[in-house]
Structure 1
Amino acid sequence: MAKKKTPGPASPKSGKPGRPRVRMYRQGFGDCFLVTLPRKNASAYRILIDCGVVLGTTDADAKMTRVAQDIAKECEGHIDIVVVTHQHWDHVSGFIQAADVFAKLTVGEVWVAWTEDPHDALANALRKERSEALAALRMSAAAMTMAGDEAGARKIDGLLGFFGAPRGASTADALNLVMKMGKVRYCRATDEPIRLKDADARLYVLGPPHDAKLIRKTLPSSQDPDTYGVAAHQLPENVTAALQPNDAGAPFSDLRAIPLALTRGMDFFRAHYWGPGEDAPEWRKIDTAWLDGASALALALDGATNNTSLVLAIELKGGDVLLFVADAQVGNWLSWADLSWKIDGNDVTGPDLLARTIFYKVGHHGSHNATLRANGLALMKNLSVAAVPVDHQTAIRKGWEKIPLEELMAALGSAAKTGVIRSDETPERPLPGVSASELYFDILI
């Protein structure tokens, strides 16, 4: 795949009319996919899966409005199913940024994961945990800023950005907007597959698992080292508890704490702390040591939210599968091995659906822990197209230099018979059944 940023002219659409089609939008670092399925005696069946771009994207409102306008035009004002996979800004921001456009559409159903169900005890516990962690992290970032640790605060703020704009709209606000668009369905992996009316397709819910331990398993471990790239360790279980509000581990109460920046102008601290020059000796710096776990908690919260991703397998007539995994990480993937359904007298399993996958929406923008090896890509023996919604330049600015991971991109390139399509690159050579414009890729299945 060539690394070009400037889109070339759209190649003519090939193939017979009425084929399924996936449109991957190119709004930046974020997910937005429109699936079009042929339907008997009616207009095409449309499924919109997420619509967002990462916080800090230039002209984000204008870009997402343009995307939404194209969706409205393509769908002729009606979407059969809107899927919101999980509460991260780069998957839901467009529903707020282009709210006026979406308000004019009619929607049949809204699909969200069971993790949003207000009547599910585990879902309520996970939401409470997320809310408390977000509060603790915002306090930690503020404390780091007061203590002069601007780099640490920026790192946490960058991850907090996945949950919405500071002092602005949140992912919960976006989800609430979407859930008012149509009849809400809380999806579970134990659900019977849904046969779409007149569309010759069946939808399977693969995840997230109804298991707190698996949802928290976001990284590879020595027991399950089944990812691409360097394996990381699980986080200590006490990280979250140590960073709750009113943490007793903080060395001084707020009444006795002095913001680090103010001490630069105080004679005592200039003589006994700062010393010559502008920076204190490294051995004296304990100002933010008690917050060392904040970055770990931020990463854990980010990963756990990714692992609540609603994962869909769309089975087409003839058995081919389109796989949309959102940002599912290790525990979510591992749970699919145990799934099984009886369809028309035949057993259908999670691994079987992966074996029949011809289109794979690559997980979490091509990160190291969102595509498994043996329990994932190695099973996709019939893979034709791997689609990666990513913007590497934005990832670099955010400090995520290894997104997308080169090792994973190479493995996808070897596995995908037609090719790998990145939203931030236009292939130098035309790919069969794929057309490119500045706004989107169209992929005929």
Structure 2
Amino acid sequence: MVTTAHSAGPQPVKATIRAYQVGFGDCFLLRFDYSDNSARHILIDFGSTGMPKNDPKADMKRVADDIAQQCGGKLDIVVATHRHADHISGFATSDNGDGPGDVIRALKPDRVLQPWTEAPEAPENWAGPADAAAAKKAFDTRIASLESMHAIAESVVRRLDSEKGFNAQWPFADRLRFLGEDNIKNLSAVKNLMTMAGDETRNVYLFHGCDVDLDEILPNIKVHVLGPPTLQQSQSIKKYAKTSSDYWLRASPLVALGADAAVARQSDSKLFPQLSKEEMFRKSRLPSEMRWVAERVDNAEADQLLGIVTALDDAVNNTSLILLFEAGTRKLLFPGDAQLENWNYALQSGMAELLDDVDFYKVGHHGSLNATPKAMWNRFNKRNEEQTPDRLKTVMSTMAGKHGGKKGAPTEVPRMPLVDELKAQSELHNTQDLEPGDLCEIIVIDLT
């Protein structure tokens, strides 16, 4: 049980999580009710790469309008765990000022929290801040960085759409399109996030173990930052393990994602005909965590494309914020899309014991095989098969059939062995189980 030392002032007494139905994406509104009848509201991610097709009313503007209503016109904090489209696309604004991002911007959050890798200026060979105040602000530099990084993803989508696209029989074309579109630039969303708090000092870039002071906004709630580590702390987020005992595999340890390496060569044509090598891979303009990817791309053949884009996707996932909210007697864990390499540093640190009595877990990466490491899951001592009052609550925002699972590889999202475990050992709430027209799943947690 949590033994938080309370200071003077109102105490958090209830948490309400609204898990919005955004298809393949994440959008959570976290509300803390206080003993003085006040409330605080935190929006954690706001994106989608595919709204549910069985609900003609489903769109991000409808979700944004409901968020505005639920928080009474004022957000306290916005969290963007990482830059993938399925987590930030909704923050995009529109020319007529009526886009979903415009609605969220009008709620005037007091803080915007992002991982350290989103700091607007990333000098050459930057390994991350020594402390949170070390992140510099230079918007123009960040725009150039985004342009270079996302040129890979844009070229992938153009190649798929062109007459010289891949053979229609190629079994991984759909997956390549998904990864390309998810990594394509979200410039409007990024710019909105960087300025919506009104003052650049209100944008905070976080990393493992940093001390984030939110007491004025969230009285008597402690926010622990478990990830991502900086490259000074660990090089792990630059790597990706194709298989691991921590993954949700069945008896046969098939190589996750590695099955794609056997794809036959599709073409001898230039991989990215639209852009020069210098335009695409100018490493001095790439974000620090992406520069290593450029070296893989320089000499790439067409049959290596899927592996390259997968590597890019994995690297961005591993920059996800992992936030643990400690409020009253409860702990709520939101890890974005953090994969094993991001988690490993937290699990080997002195902060790992914070996970032992977690009460609520937002399932990582829409239920993929490698974002809920068994070493982390096994620490949750409130897992059980009984309907006890303190049983672990879990929520998964996902849409089956959108990503993975080709040619027998154990990569479908959500990964069924994990889903089976979540159902057996926790109170699972799953957005894909909502009825057409239902806007969100609501989970209420007593904090007293």
Q: TM-score, normalised by structure 1?
A: 0.70
Name the amino acid aligned to 1:122. Answer: A
Name the amino acid aligned to 2:223. Answer: L
Deviation at 1:339, TM superposition (A): 3.4
Deviation at 1:160, TM superposition (A): 1.1
What is the match of residue 352 of structure 1?
A: 353
Q: Structure 1 pair 393/296, CA: closer, same or farther in 2 (3 Å)?
A: closer
For 1:45-444, list aligned pairs within 5 A: 45-55=40-50, 63-96=59-92, 97-120=99-122, 121-122=126-127, 132=148, 134-136=150-152, 138-139=154-155, 142=158, 145-146=163-164, 149-150=167-168, 151=170, 154-164=174-184, 170-182=185-197, 183-192=202-211, 194=213, 196-197=215-216, 199-211=219-231, 213-221=235-243, 224-229=244-249, 230=253, 232=255, 290-318=301-329, 320-340=330-350, 349=351, 351-373=352-374, 375-383=375-383, 384-395=392-403, 402-416=412-426, 419-426=427-434, 438-444=438-444
Q: Secondary structure at the match of 2:325?
A: strand
What is the match of residue 246 of structure 1?
A: none
What is the match of residue 245 of structure 1?
A: none
What is the match of residue 4 of structure 2?
A: none
Q: TM-score, normalised by structure 2?
A: 0.70
Q: Contact 1:218/1:369 (CA < 8 Å) preserved in 2?
A: no
Deviation at 1:442, TM superposition (A): 1.2
Mind listing any 5+ residue stretches in structure 2 that lack a counterpart? 1-11, 93-98, 129-134, 136-140, 262-266, 274-299, 384-391
Greater shift in the superposed pair: 39-48 or 203-212:
39-48
What RMSD in Å do the two structures reach over aligned CA positions? 3.6
Q: Structure 1 pair 188/61, CA: closer, same or farther in 2 (3 Å)?
A: farther
Q: Structure 1 pair 42/199, CA: closer, same or farther in 2 (3 Å)?
A: farther
- 2: distance between equivalents of 1:330 and 1:354? 15
Q: Secondary structure at the match of 1:162?
A: helix
Deviations 1:339-370 (Å, cap 9, x if unpaired)? Answer: 33xxxxxxxx2x21211111000011101111
Q: Contact 1:142/1:153 (CA < 8 Å) preserved in 2?
A: no
Name the amino acid aligned to 2:379. Answer: L
Deviations 1:229-281 (Å, cap 9, x if unpaired)? Answer: 2453697xxx9xxxxxxxxxx96779x9xxxxxxxxxxxxxxxxxxxxxxxxx
Q: Contact 1:137/1:294 (CA < 8 Å) preserved in 2?
A: no
Deviations 1:82-138 (Å, cap 9, x if unpaired)? Answer: 000011111111112512322321211000110011344236999999865643454
- 2: distance between equivalents of 1:117 and 1:101? 24
Q: Structure 1 pair 105/184, CA: closer, same or farther in 2 (3 Å)?
A: same
Deviation at 1:426, TM superposition (A): 4.5
Deviation at 1:143, TM superposition (A): 5.4
Name the amino acid aligned to 2:167. Answer: D
Name the amino acid aligned to 1:369. Answer: N
Deviations 1:380-439 (Å, cap 9, x if unpaired)? Answer: 1124111010122545899997211110012222321xx111101159xxxxxxxx9811
- 2: distance between equivalents of 1:118 and 1:292? 34
Q: Secondary structure at the match of 1:38?
A: strand
Name the amino acid aligned to 2:190. Answer: L
Q: Secondary structure at the match of 2:127?
A: helix
Q: Contact 1:219/1:369 (CA < 8 Å) preserved in 2?
A: no
Name the amino acid aligned to 2:26. Answer: D
Q: Contact 2:89/2:189 (CA < 8 Å) preserved in 1?
A: yes
- 2: distance between equivalents of 1:115 and 1:385? 30
Q: Contact 1:217/1:330 (CA < 8 Å) preserved in 2?
A: no
Deviation at 1:324, TM superposition (A): 0.4
Q: Structure 1 pair 149/206, CA: closer, same or farther in 2 (3 Å)?
A: same
Deviation at 1:208, TM superposition (A): 0.8
Q: Structure 1 pair 174/370, CA: closer, same or farther in 2 (3 Å)?
A: same
Percent of matched pairs sharing the same residue: 30
- 2: distance between equivalents of 1:330 and 1:312? 16
How many residue pairs get aligned? The number is: 355
- 2: distance between equivalents of 1:437 and 1:147? 37
What is the match of residue 12 of structure 1?
A: none
Deviation at 1:149, TM superposition (A): 2.5
Deviations 1:47-73 (Å, cap 9, x if unpaired)? Answer: 110011115765899611111111111
Deviations 1:277-300 (Å, cap 9, x if unpaired)? Answer: xxxxxxxxxxxx931110001111
Name the amino acid aligned to 1:176. Answer: K
Q: Structure 1 pair 126/55, CA: closer, same or farther in 2 (3 Å)?
A: farther
- 1: distance between equivalents of 2:365 and 2:18? 18
- 2: distance between equivalents of 1:233 and 1:361? 23
What is the match of residue 33 of structure 1?
A: 28
